[in-house]
Amino acid sequence: MEKIFAIVSTILGSIIGAGFSTGQEIFYFFSQFKEKSFLYIGFSSILIFLILFYLVNIRIKNIIILVIFKSYILVFSVITLTVMFSAFGQLGKELFGINKYVFTLLCVVLSFAIYKHGLLTIINLNKVVVSILIMTIAFIFSKFIHKNTILFQFKNLNFHLSKDIFHNLIFPLLYATYNSLLAFPVINNLEERFCKQEIKISIAISAVLTFLLILIINILLLSENWIQTSQMPLLKIEKNPVLQFVLVTCTFLEILTTILANYMGLSYSIKNHKIKFVIIIVSLILGFNEFQELLRKLYSLMGYIGLGIIIMILLSTLILKDKKLK
């Protein structure tokens, strides 16, 4: 159980980044569906489970597809690093009034120092941060329920298929694709330390916890209209200074854990340390742009490309199996 907890924490730590822990990502991808949000959240969580379960069970043998896949992970890592660096700087500016460039540089220094200590340090950091974040969000949610400030609108839910159902499904699909590929390099590293069966069980547990966390955060965001204009909506939901401090601290640390996941993505794609250093510097410079704009434009773009990559891998697997049968 201790091993499962370590793996689950590490997988969640790669998914729960700046967009997740600030609420911005969940608001953009799910809150727009109002009372139907939980259906799309459930669909996305199932997809995360299926994609990760599929990727952990295959080995890409086609050289061309492997090169394309590694190239995508490389571009993916650069874009995610850019968004994370921007988020760290924006968080410092919005909550503490400190120059965002200073905070962004601090983020690079801290993340690189943690990464240098190895995978075990990353696993232990995730175990602590993910546990605290889950308990804090659960406690805040219970407070809101007790005060009857949560707006449950499920009674208005109609289960007929909307005419825009296929258009709407693209949002949870992009979210699931993006976050699955974000977690993949982490899982790839975990395979050196844990057995495949433990990882498979952990993927299933992670998908369930992801569903519950997104659902709770989404309900919190929908309950307060006034916070939805903030770049960090979840951090504004709680007035208690102690709980707000915990949320902010967790967000800082979760940004770092997501950056660490992307460092693993860089290591998966390229081995040259000098090239990796140049990529980190480029991501840092691009990260000086606005967090909200970067997240909304780049996450959707990488979701579309990632969807294409997964379809390509799936088709190549099916063709390979077909040839073996013949």
pLDDT digit string, tens, across residues 203-213: 999 999 999 98
Question: 107 falls in which pLDDT band (50, 70, 90)?
Answer: confident
Q: Among 191, 208, 254, which residue's Cα sits nearest to residue 55?
A: 191
Total of domains in the chain: 1
The stretch 101-108 carries a mean pLDDT of 84
Query: How is residue 309 written in tokens?
Result: 């990559």
Distance CA 316, CA 63 (A): 11
Kindly state the percentage of the chain with pLDDT values over 90. Answer: 6
Q: Can you give the pLDDT at residue 320?
A: 57
Predicted model pTM: 0.78
Q: Can you give the pLDDT at residue 208?
A: 93
Contacts of 295 (CB under 8 A, 6+ apart): 18, 19, 24, 25, 28, 83, 87
pLDDT digit string, tens, across residues 153-199: 444 445 455 556 666 788 888 888 888 887 888 888 888 888 889 99
* Structural domain that includes position 121: 2-325
DSSP code, position 233:
G
CATH number of residue 175's parent domain: 1.20.1740.10
